[in-house]
Amino acid sequence: MLGDFTLTLPTRVHFGSHALDALPEELARYGSRVLLTYGGKSAKATGLYDRVIAALADAGKEIWEVSGITANPTFTKVLEVAHAIREHDVDLVIAVGGGSVIDCSKDASALAWQEGTPEELWARFYYDGEQVAPEDRVTPVGCILTIPATGSEMNRGGVTTNEETREKLEMVGDEVRTIPEFALLDPTLTYTLPRYQMVSGCYDILCHCMEQYFSGDDDCVSDYLAEGVMRAIISATNAAVADPMDYEARSNIMWCATWGLNGVIGIGKDQDWQLHDLGQSISAFTGATHGMTLSALTKAYYRHVLPAGMHRFARFATAVWGIPAEGKTDEELAAAGLDALDAWLRGIGCVMNITELGVTEDMIEGIAAVTPLEESGYHPFTTEEFVEVLRESL
C-alpha cells in the first residue's frame, strides 16, 4: 500500500536546448545581489561562464563568485560559500555545474544564516540531524545543470564530505527551501562531458531508481514509475555511448536524472540507500567519482540483498531488462537480472572494483566504520557485513 505523503516540488524547470533563454526572466524575480558558484575548469572552458556573466550584467546584477568547488565537495568549501552568502548578503545563489556545485550551494544557502562552530553545524544539520527551522533564513538557489546524475537540481539533498571525520553525509535541509527555486536544463551543455563522467552519471541515475525500487512487496504506483525511468535511462545511455552528440539521448538522460531523484518515484516507500551510504564513504576516503563507487560495489552488494528480496529482483529482471519469465524460477530470473545489470555496467565502461578507485585493504575497516547503519531496504546491513562487501569488491 502506498504510504502517506506530502509532496512539494517547488522548482521551476526550464528544459531544452534554449533553456538558458529563461535566465533573464528568472533573474528578474530576485534582488540585485547574486553569488555565482561553479567548479574547476569546465564552466569557463565551455563558454558557459561567459554566457551567464553576460546575462547577469544585462540584468544589472552585482556579482560575487566562489569557484573551485570540487567533485565530492568538502564541508570547508560549504562554509566558504556560506560565508560569501552572508558577507555579501546576496539575494540569490546561481550554481553552475553538477551535483557537487549544486549540493555545496544548497547546503551553504541554509548554513549561511546559522550560528555555531563548524563542528556544531555539522552535528546539528547533517545525516539524522535537524531541519532548518521555519523562521530561519535560507537564501534562494537557482541552478544551471551541466552533468545529469544526482537530481540535485530538483531535490533538497546536499551531500558533503567532512575532511576531519572522513564522513560523507547529506544535510537534512528544509522540505522546500533548500530545493532549487529554478533549474535550467539544457542537454547540449552535457556534450562536453568526458565519457567517464557521463557513464558514471548514468549509473547514478539508474542506481537512484534501484535504491527506491528495492523495498516493499506491495502493488505500488511508484515502482511502475521507477521501472519506466530505469528502462529509459538504460536505452538513452546505450544511445549516448554509441553517439555522444545524440541530442535525443542526452535530453532523455537529463530528464531521467531529475526524475530519478526528485522524490516522486520513491514516494510512499521505505527505500534502501545503503549502497549509496557505502559508496559515499569510499569517496570520503579516496575522492572517487560517485557513480563509479556504486558500480564497483553493485555485484557484491546485491548478492547480499538478493535472498531477502527475491521476488522483486525477479520482477526487475523482466520489467527492466526484458528477460522472459517463462520456464524460470524466481531465483533463476533474479540472477539473470543481476547478470544483465553487471554486463551492462561493463559494456558502458563503469569501474567494477574498488581497487581501481584507490581503496586498499587497510582502508576497509575505516570505510565501513563511518558508513551509517539504516533500517531500510530488504536487508539492513551491519558494519561487519559492509566490511565483507568491501572485501568482495576489491
Residues that bind Zn ion in the complex, under the rule CB under 5 A:
204
Residue 290 cell numbers, joined: 560517485
The partner in contact with residue 190, picked from Zn ion, ligand NZQ, none with C-beta cut-offs of 5 to 8 angstroms by kind, is: ligand NZQ
Cα 244 versus chain centre, distance: 22
The DSSP symbol for 74 reads B
Alpha helices (H) in 192-289, listed in sequence order: 195-213, 221-242, 247-260, 274-286
Query: Do 275 and 301 form a contact (C-beta atoms < 8 A)?
Result: yes
Residue 136 cell numbers, joined: 530561519
The partner in contact with residue 298, picked from ligand NZQ, Zn ion, none with C-beta cut-offs of 5 to 8 angstroms by kind, is: none
Contact stretch for ligand NZQ (CB under 6 A) within 40-48, 79-87, 108-116, 214-222? 40-48
Phi-psi group of 68: left, alpha or beta (phi > 0 → left; psi -120 to 50 → alpha; rest → beta): left
Residue 95 in contact with ligand NZQ, rule: CB under 6 A: no
Contact stretch for ligand NZQ (CB under 6 A) within 34-42, 82-90, 132-140, 245-253? 34-42
The partner in contact with residue 42, picked from Zn ion, ligand NZQ, none with C-beta cut-offs of 5 to 8 angstroms by kind, is: ligand NZQ
Question: What DSSP letter does each residue of 315-332 carry, written as one string?
Answer: HHHHHTT----TT--HHH
Query: Do 260 and 151 form a contact (C-beta atoms < 8 A)?
Result: yes
In single-letter form, the type of residue at position 186 comes to D
Residue 263 in contact with ligand NZQ, rule: CB under 6 A: no
- Interface with ligand NZQ in residues 101-120 (CB under 6 A): 101, 103
Determine which residue in the list 14, 61, 77, 276 makes contact with ligand NZQ, applying CB under 6 A.
276
Q: Select the residue whose beta carbon is closest to Zn ion and give its number.
A: 204
Find the helix packing angle between 118-125 and 99-111, rounded to 10°: 110
The partner in contact with residue 157, picked from Zn ion, ligand NZQ, none with C-beta cut-offs of 5 to 8 angstroms by kind, is: ligand NZQ
In single-letter form, the type of residue at position 362 comes to D
The partner in contact with residue 238, picked from ligand NZQ, Zn ion, none with C-beta cut-offs of 5 to 8 angstroms by kind, is: none
**Between 187 and 337, CB nearer to ligand NZQ:** 187
Query: Do 10 and 176 form a contact (C-beta atoms < 8 A)?
Result: yes
Residues that bind ligand NZQ (CB under 6 A): 39-43, 46, 71-72, 97-101, 103, 146-147, 149-152, 155, 157-159, 189-190, 192-193, 197, 201, 204, 261, 276, 280, 290
